[in-house]
Structure 1
């Protein structure tokens, strides 16, 4: 029987109700998760903030600067980072809190934790936030998200990864048999972040050194990375690199459409001294609710979308295959294709309420050889969901998504 086709025991009204329910579920989970997930991947590149001055530094080529970043042995630092993210998303109102609540509760099972990093750190996908960071090698890192009347921290110390939300007095704890596994679940060093960003440097990329700047009181070189291909929503990426340690201090991603940066993040204060050992100590406060990661499951942070980018296009293809989707194109124009096996997402008019407003503000109806669908757009990531349930998503234009869907028909 075809999907939603009625039989003797199912009325046309029942079928319509079932169709609407499935559409709402797709809209609630597929669209926001796709947009926020890829945004999170973009944020996880490297810190940055406003620069000043143009210090006089020895000349260096882009190739030399990239090599210096790769060879940098910085393993200790601490400081304050300010990050602003502007994806151009509308104000979701109650929908946003509902989605975050659902994520915190593990999809609605009521057994989640407000201190779970998977849900908490998605807050960095929008607005302006202040973070405190500390790093002492691959075994010890700490990141604290400073809020108006509370603080949220993720601490990695050896095998232990702790998440603590002071507002709710909740603690999330996970362990790993090997410290290397745990390291993947918390923010890595700035060197790691830079390596993630520079994996895009290939034949489809232009890389130059564009002068100098001062960031957090330190002299830095400005490395500019741009797509050579047309069709990408990325205008350029600018990374300010400390001239003495060659540690990235500043990251700014500007969209091809112009205007304010999509991501502007970086150090306002930084020190390369070893942080005090006590920085990474953590004991659950008295009376705190402690949630332990279930045995046999990977720590929650590892599930965060795009937290670790594949190291090459071959790795990307293998990772995509393992996750049940494929990748079309290469370089900056790569598009992920997912088969949801369901019906496409409706217009906001069919849904109504906060969710309807969200869909109307993001979606453009499109058609082509593939049929019909809806493109959900931000200033960086666009996603086409076809009426037969396929999802095409990437940092590419609407036209590029339609072209890919037509080619895949």
Structure 2
């Protein structure tokens, strides 16, 4: 077998779409009701055998229904920023739909036929939103506004078949529980305890559960649980659980799944008559979180504005990793608080951030979610990571 053939088969193994893009790659899981009480009686396997089963899976074709439920515990005003406004207004841009997955519960139909054909159709409300990857083309369609997004998928030989910079939409559509599981296991390293949990039944199929737990103290993550199809090795569900307990932080997986080959016309798309078609490329410019902050009244100065160049350092390792961002901002939080001319929306945002904190690093504000926490200091630095408040302050102190 040639090296190219092996590579193609490897890519195909991880081409089954269950979630869109980076949100799924971060943390996704299914509501507890999908797992029946008292899992099926399956032959015992070790964690290594289960990992090998995932890697050996060669499933390339499927269709079904999946669901993502996210509970990050965001402040209302911050949730509005991260949720984006583009989709609500009918935007066809994929990044707008992806941003909306940061809140609430979303259901969609999925279909895949190898690495070159995938489709996601969101079932939130009566208005259709679909993402389709068919060979050389990637389409996004919003029925509410009759808008269409289109870009060319990267081809072999074009930057190695990958877009430079951020992933293009075609890569995002190929994101899957297999790909997510592979990335999680690759990143686990010596800071993670890997084991096998109780069996489960997901979307009517028997499954093993691979469980990853941080060995380090200070993480907001309690465990990551990956439900793996006992027959074909396809990850059916990925759950991210909080170290504080309660329902999953994020939930994604199948509610129905069929591993038969979808019909070819599933991936056919022609822009409707009169539709506005936008040609574009994902990943150009800044990330969505920076755009959201800069568009908020009074906060553009804190992010350095459109020309800001933030310096990023990675502190710590494993589950206790924290990113230190020096924004190079022209104003501090204190400046904004004392500015009588600052928009009231900006001050409301500051109030929503939570407690004022202090330490060896100085003073700042603490922004809290169930997963990712951030410390914004008065001297223009941001410390962010999936760690507790105490761990974040400890890291900021040691960085001084």
TM-score (norm 1): 0.77
Alignment of 1:67-78 (within 5 A): 67-78=52-63
Structure 1 residues 115 and 224, CA gap change in structure 2 (3 angstroms): same
Deviations 1:67-104 (A, max 9, x none): 111111111111101111000113339x8279723x67
List alignment gaps of at least 5 residues for structure 2. 1-20, 163-167, 290-308
Match of 1:65 among 37, 50, 62: 50
Q: Is 1:232 paired with 2:232? A: no
- What residue in structure 2 maps to residue 161 of structure 1? 138
Is 1:131 the counterpart of 2:108? The answer is yes
Distance 1:270 1:144, change over 3 A: same
Alpha-carbon RMSD: 3.0
1:87 corresponding residue in structure 2: 72
Residue 54, structure 1, aligned to residue 39, structure 2: yes
TM-score (norm 2): 0.78
Taking a change above 3 Å as real, the CA distance of residues 355 and 43 of structure 1, as seen in their structure-2 partners, is farther
Q: Judging changes above 3 Å, is the alpha-carbon distance between structure 1 residues 280 and 264 closer, same or farther for their aligned structure 2 residues?
A: same
Aligned-pair distance for 1:352? 6.9
Asked if 2 retains the 8 angstrom alpha-carbon contact of 1:227 and 1:234, the reply is yes
- The Cα shift of 1:221 comes to 0.4
Alignment of 1:107-256 (within 5 A): 114-178=91-155, 180-181=161-162, 183-256=170-243
Q: Does 1:339 align with 2:321?
A: no
SS in 1 for 2:39: coil
**1:26: which partner in 2?**
none
**Equivalent pair of 1:163/1:171 in contact (CA under 8 Å):** yes
State the Cα distance separating 1:119 from its structure 2 match: 1.4
**Residue 28 of structure 2 contacts residue 70 of structure 2 at CA under 8 Å; is this kept in 1?**
no
Unmatched 5+ stretches in structure 1:
1-38, 106-111, 306-321
Structure 1 distance, partners of 2:22, 2:338, is 29
Instruction: Quote how far apart the aligned CAs of 1:361 are.
Output: 3.2
- For residues 67 and 98 of structure 1, what CA distance do their matches in structure 2 show? 37
Q: Which residue does 2:293 correspond to in 1?
A: none
Displacement of 1:287 in angstroms is 0.9
Given that residues 113 and 172 in structure 1 are in contact (C-alpha distance below 8 angstroms), is that contact kept between their aligned partners in structure 2? no
2:349 is aligned with 1:362? no
Question: Residues 28 and 250 of structure 2 are in contact (CA less than 8 Å); yes or no, is this contact kept in structure 1?
Answer: no
